[in-house]
Structure 1
């Protein structure tokens, strides 16, 4: 088995929800993989400007980044490999719908992330992410009319999200935590981003591996030959995974790599 590329989700995969840190075993594994010539990629729902803590710690360890759940992919030099943003008519329709409702929503532009309002659900997420949760601005949602918006974070549970999806007909919902759902283009996703990145580097899917833990990682694991679900992953992801490893806090990344003889 020849692995040439490995894709890693961040929250719940590289970074523990309990400690808000990357386990030492994972850090060592990443450096070992890089030394072997394996290309390492981040595949996250986070925007590019939320990855500063990774770059500060690892420098150019990662060959590239898949951000906004696949909507904006770029290499370590900043070269754009793939880009797709949300339908503006959908966004205008959706913002009109939530105008008088207590629905917190994050709007992600390429270099700006703002919310329409602050509520208890937003506060709970900040508590969950700890020090890795950046501060956010609050702004007028009319920005969607003249700024590219790559992703939304709508703070609703799974049942409630069904009420807003009709206002976003060209979009779909993917979820990695119970507090909110990510809204991305219907033809988007981490799987789409991975396919674009692999094609750019001339790497076959049979030479690729991916690690994830959330519902937004399903397409990512399906896009590669070796899809690894963390032990702390949700059940939907475990059902489609090729291998279920240990929890992130129990050295799950390193354990799976050893099981596949990559380490």
Structure 2
């Protein structure tokens, strides 16, 4: 019996217009009313999640896995119950990798702030921050350290061609010391080693006393891979990559056809 549903956001819960289809809201509310835990599991930071979570209308004790598994929050009081973070020396090492790589900048996701390590915020970073309802701050590494926030993860940003070249040059070495994923054409992410959506979902399952056989997860992209491999009830969105579909137990409709709702009715509330 499925007792928890882990749902990716972009490309999964959200349609192409970055909206939650009403069918998804109704299915999620029906699952929650049946006693199933609803866990959004996303690469987004808190600023880019809360407005959507409020639309779901859930009032019970729910949880959200954020920052690609680097943080877990309770939604009834927004307490941070578990996190992984980058050290000052790790951040300096990550910055050094792109110091001389023109067109690629390092951004940092803190508990409260979205930083770009630069003299001024670039247009690309400002655009990405706007997608999560935030404003990026240009800071030096020293200033970031002085502000004292928990830094959950880092993201290299650049136009696709420049980031392709950066990944070819540094991807292999970075992956030895960090959990890395190319989550968007313009984003290459670096998390603390071992931190993924799967590691956070496993942590949360233990916290709640659940087995992975009691969890269903839905996703569409590379940063969902470990999570979908971890659970027994894995669901690929109809718009997912072939690599995702091949490792999943089920495939549902696309995100523009309310595939989350279909999966909930097909595999949880049937």
Q: Please give the TM-score of this superposition, normalised by the length of structure 1.
A: 0.87
Shift in Å at residue 259 of structure 1?
2.5
Deviations 1:127-151 (A, max 9, x none): 9x4xx55332222233454543211
Instruction: Flag structure 1 segments of 5+ consecutive residues without an equivalent.
Output: none
Show the counterpart of 1:68.
67
Distance, in Å, in 2 between the alignment partners of 1:80 and 1:116 is: 25
* Residue 244 of structure 1: how far off its partner (Å): 1.6
2:155 alignment partner in structure 1 = 153
Where does structure 1 differ by over 6 angstroms across 4 or more consecutive aligned residues? none
What is the SS of the residue equivalent to 2:231?
Answer: coil
SS in 1 for 2:218: strand
1:225 shift after superposition: 1.3
Name the CA shift for 1:124/1:239 in 2 (closer, same or farther; >3 Å): farther
Instruction: Give the number of aligned pairs.
Output: 258
Residue 185 of structure 1: aligned partner: 192
Q: Is residue 2:173 matched to residue 1:174?
A: no
Instruction: Give unpaired runs (5+ residues) of structure 2.
Output: none
What CA distance in whole angstroms lies between the structure 2 residues aligned with 1:138 and 1:45? 21
The 5 A counterparts of 1:32-71 are 32-61=30-59, 63-71=62-70
Q: 1:67 to 1:212 in 2, by over 3 A?
A: same
The TM-score normalised by the length of structure 2 is: 0.85
Q: Distance in 2 between matches of 1:236 and 1:206?
A: 22
CA RMSD of aligned residues (A): 2.4
Q: What does residue 221 of structure 2 align with?
A: 214
Mapping of residues 1-263 of structure 1, within 5 Å:
2-16=1-15, 18-61=16-59, 63-76=62-75, 77-100=77-100, 101-117=102-118, 118-119=121-122, 121-122=124-125, 125=128, 129=131, 132-143=132-143, 145=145, 147=148, 148-156=150-158, 157-165=163-171, 166=173, 169-263=176-270
Q: How many Å separate the matches in 2 of 1:145 and 1:122?
A: 20
- Pick which of 165-174 and 234-243 moved more: 165-174
| 2: CA distance, partners of 1:142 / 1:167 | 22
